A and B are shown apart, each in its own frame.
Chain A
Amino acid sequence: MRMRTIEISVGGFVLAGALALVFLALQVSGVSRNQAEDSYIIKARFNDVAGLRVRSKVSMAGVTIGRVRAIDVDMQWGDATVTMDILGEPGNLTADTGAKILTEGILGARYISLLPGSDEETLGPGDEITETQGALILENLIGEFLTNLGDS
């Protein structure tokens, strides 16, 4: 009889652990929402990506439509190549789409904002965005401001 109570308790214990794991996976890390949907890769060159990270958001009109997959530096040109995963089928972005690196709030994370263009052609997998504007660096801005102040 005692062995049976022990077995039931242990069974309940293991079950509670499994339920806790399911809860953590579904409710806390939100697996069901982040399921890998169809996505394709596009690239963009920026003169400066300071603060942008792998898995940063890629958004259009404030809605997340993808994630940054990789950030590489091109030593020859001295700029950065950002590879992004864009959700959906290829063909949902026009060829003259622009990309900007912006900041969420004042202290928030850096993200890429895509600006829709008006071209009839669309970006295919692996294509590169040419219209880009890199991250604004506060120190550079202040530096320029001070130089201008000195000139005037």
Chain B
Amino acid sequence: MEEKYIICEDSLEGIFTAVYDAYALREGHDHLHVQVGETDNYRLFATYLHSQPDFGKTEKVVRTLKERLGEHVYGSICRAAASDEADKGDAVYHTVVDGITGGHGERTMDNLRNPYVARAFALARRTANEVHHELEFIRFQELKQGVLYSRIGPENNVMPFVMPHFADRLSSEDFMIHDENRGLFGVHPARGEWYLVSGVEQGTAGLQEAIQYSDQEMEYQELFTIFHKTIAIRERHNRRLQQQMLPLRFQDYMVEFLQK
């Protein structure tokens, strides 16, 4: 039978809408694929369908996933969908199919024999690992107005998973996290609810230059840099190990590595 590809937008809403559309076709799932974003390399004997993100369809999928597979699996699927890998759409779609048709429920992600589940599991784990790293390595800088500001450059879309942690931890602070790779801002007003702002790339051109730090900021950066340097034991110096634990792509955003 002919392969069919559903092309969708690169977002949680886009992927879930595509999953809905795939089910709506009622043609079985074996020859259906969900693809995130356009491809440069179309296959000859395949049909391509386009799916537009739809809020209503997304909600239905979310409700079904939570009811049939449980919150835990739903969380893993969201993390897999936040990955930056091209095949995430298909992995998510067929994992959902396997969980629902197989009736695996809360154990859906345990079926690692299924290649799609194994792939979704791996993608979710990668996102979760990067989220964990960002919780550790994000550095806030205090601006003149008292707002805490942080730049990050993650591979996966970690923002929705990073924000709740800091919203709880720094509940009485105004803070903002800026994902440079996606032009995405996570904003938290003190004692308020956090939200995401996207699509403001044009306005951020002069952002770095316009930033003014508070009077104390440089002092604390310097104090921490000194602390960071002092706490290492000379007889045990091991840069390779340091780099293994703290990859360079994070170091570019961390105050203790900027002042050399």
> Are A and B genuine complex partners?
no
Which chain B residues have a beta carbon within 8 Å of chain A's beta carbons? none
Which chain A residues have a beta carbon within 8 Å of chain B's beta carbons? none
